[in-house]
Amino acid sequence: MTPPERLSQVTLRPGRDFTVTARHPWLFSGAVHEVTGSPADGDEVLLTSAEGTPLGRGLWNARSQIRVRIYTTNPHQPLDDAFWRERLARSVELRRRIPGLDDGAPARLVFSEADGLSGLVVDRMGGWLVVQLTSLALHRRLEGILDWLDGELRPEGILLRTERGVLEEEGLELSDGLLRGREPEGPVPVADGSLSFLADLRTGQKTGFYLDQRWNRRAVAAWARDRRAADVCTYSGGFALHMARAGARSVVGVDVSAPALELAEAHARLNELEDRTRWVRSDAVKWLEGEAEAGNRYDLVVLDPPRFARSRRGVAGALKGYARLNEAALNVLEPGGLLATFSCSGRVSRDAFSQVLGEVAGRTGRRLRILESLGQPADHPVDPNTPETAYLKGFIVEVE
């Protein structure tokens, strides 16, 4: 155990104790008053108040605006191998207690800040694990993390997936690839309700399959029978195929990515739904505006766009983007139609997203009524002290 007095110290500015005591895991550069010692990036540091009171421990990174990722508010708890193993074990054990998540089900086993492991995501897809790292400091501890995952879960292989923007923010230089075991020979089959999908763990978006929407796909599909439906930003066809299976009269999936649509078509064939779906390559807003101009109307439109805001600076622009997209969708919906609309931008709150709908209703003169509020599944838990973990929000809305 490293005594607190032997660690480099990060002293907070006066009045910034709440950053730690409120248990938010990010300490930004603006909250730092003084650094005592010479911590290297990735080193464990002791956090102290302006008055010198020990507050907790975290990992230092001078390259990032998140100067310290805080992992414990106990200043005497070392961030050693035993600490990381215990956090991993608690995360996996929670998933084992979630109804329906047996050992073979696709699942998010570690969800970063919500599991007290800021900077680490681990998804299970079939017999493989996919790791995402958004923390330079945890990358320095990656081998110990992999040892635990390998020893406890016995996967066929462990792969690394990266996000370019996040790597730059952390000063990380990483490439996608195999970390342990063997690579899958091709896309990995995963079940999503009564449907089968193929997760491309090597080149697919994120970790190969959007696990977070699987409950919402079924919730939306419950409204789809006999409706003309459009799944905008469909990616691999998740909402579209669930709506087709549920008895939608017709379903069109729209995405700007040709590889995504190829995957969606493959999923339609895999589930014998190719005769009930069609696919269009287009920008989302341009397609919706074109359909409105052509007089084409729908009874159910799903909007599941990519993240619009990565930081606080991007929130205003994101809200404008959501407004434009949702307004375009209203213009193709029949009276009494349904809009299922989502935001995966953690910086955009549910209230702010709801307010966008209110503003769009005012501009279009159409009355909206929220019928269902949707979020992320139980294997993507939310830490109430870290609002950013409640990143996925959605509404099913009736449009008069």
Catalytic residues: 344
Residue 2, SS3 per DSSP: coil
Give φ, ψ of 255 to 5 degrees. Answer: -155, 150
Nearest Cα residue to 396 out of 360, 366, 370, 375: 370
**Would you tell me how many other CB atoms lie within 10 Å of the CB of residue 312?**
8
* Residue 388 C-alpha from the chain's centroid: 10
- CA-only gyration radius of the chain, Å: 23
Distance CA 253, CA 240 (A): 6
Distance CA 174, CA 272 (A): 39
Give the β-pairing of 66-72 and 26-28. antiparallel
- Residue 116 CA to residue 203 CA, distance in Å, equals 28
Which two tokens mark 1?
């155990």
Eight-class DSSP state of 98: S
